[in-house]
Amino acid sequence: MTSANADKMGSMNIGNLGTFLRGYFEKNRTVYEMGVQKMGFLGGVFPTRTLSIPKIELRWQAGVAGRMNVALDAPVEDSRWEMKETSKELTWDKFAFTITDSATDAIAVNNMLRTGIKNSANYFAALRDYRIITELMAKNNSNCTHNADVVWTDSAAQVEEDIIQAIQGIVQYSGGLNPETASFGVIYPAKAMMGLDALGLIGNVQMTVKEYLKKTWKINFYPYSPAKFGSDGAEVVDVKNDTSSDALGTNAVVFVEGGDTLECGQYYGNGIKMSETTRIHDVGYKTTLRHSFGCLAKPLYDDVTFTTPLIYEIGNVTT
C-alpha cells in the first residue's frame, strides 16, 4: 500500500494542499490498486484481468468432437460441440474522504491522507471479497450441496466428513479432476473457527481438523467475517442502502482455487479519471476514488444456469 508523504511540500497553504492531493493519486494509483488486491483475503485465489471494457466475457467449448477406434479416414463429429459464452457487466464503486484546511503542515496532511488511503483500500478490498463469495455461492452445481448434520462448533459435529464429502462431490461431478494436485479452498463463517481449530482426537491422534485435512490435500482455509462499515458497527457494505455485507450467511463453500473456477476483472476506465480532488468552499479538499471490479464463475457442463461442479456449498454450518 502507498504511504502518505507530504514532507517535501513544506508548510501547507490552501493552494499547494490541492496541488499535492491531485498529484498524489495520479502518481501512485497503480501501487494503490496492488495494495487493495493484497488486502482482500481472497485477493490471490483467483486471477484478475485488466479489462478494456467494463464487462467480463467468458467463452468455453460445450461437448467434444472426439471419437475412438475409428478408421484413418473416418470423420470427426463436428456437430457434437459448440462454443458457448457468458458475461457480466461491471458497475462502479466509490469512496470519498476530505482533508480540511486545518491541515496546514505535513504531519496533519500525512495523518488525514493515511487514514483516507487505509479506509478506502479496506472498503474496496472488502467489496472484492464480497463479490467473489457472492459469485461462488450463486454458481455451485445443483449436485454439489449438502447440509451439515449439526453446526461445526457442536461437540457432535463431523467437520472433516462434511469437507471430505464436498471434495468428493467436486471430484465426482467435475470429471477428470485430480484431487492430489488440485488446490482447494474453504470459506466458512468466522464464528465456526472453533470447529476447525480446536484440538480433538482424529484416528486416535490429537490434532485439529485443519491439520488432518492438510495431510491429505492441498487445501486453504478462509474464515470469513462480514465487513462492518456502518457508523454503529453494522454489517453493511453500502452505507446508503444498508446492503448487508454478509455474503456467506450460515453456510460454507468449498471450491477449486484458480482460473478454472472463477475469473475476476478490473476496469480502469477509458478516459475516465479514477480519482478526483475538488475544492469544497471554506472546508477543504474532497477526494473521490473510483473502483470497478467484478467476477464470473466459469460454467462446466451447464449452459442454462452457468454453474460449475468445482464449487460445493455446505449449508447450516453455523446458526
- Chunked mean pLDDT (size 10), the chain, 319 residues: 52 69 76 77 90 92 79 81 87 92 76 88 93 96 95 94 97 92 97 91 84 93 94 89 94 97 91 88 90 94 86 97
- The HSE-up count of residue 279 (CA atoms within 13 Å, CB side) is 10
Place of cell 468466522: 190
Identify which of 91, 89, 111, 86 has the alpha carbon closest to the alpha carbon of residue 99. Answer: 111
3-state class (DSSP) for residue 242: coil
Give the other-Cβ count within 10 Å of 51's Cβ.
Answer: 18
State the pLDDT at residue 205. Answer: 81
3-state class (DSSP) for residue 82: strand
What phi-psi label fits residue 316: left (phi over 0), alpha (psi between -120 and 50 degrees) or beta? left
CB contact at 8 A, 259 and 47: yes
- Which sequence spans correspond to the domains of the chain? 7-315
State the pLDDT at residue 4. Answer: 54
Name the pTM for this structure: 0.89
Architecture of domain 7-315: Alpha-Beta Complex (3.90)
State the pLDDT at residue 169. Answer: 97
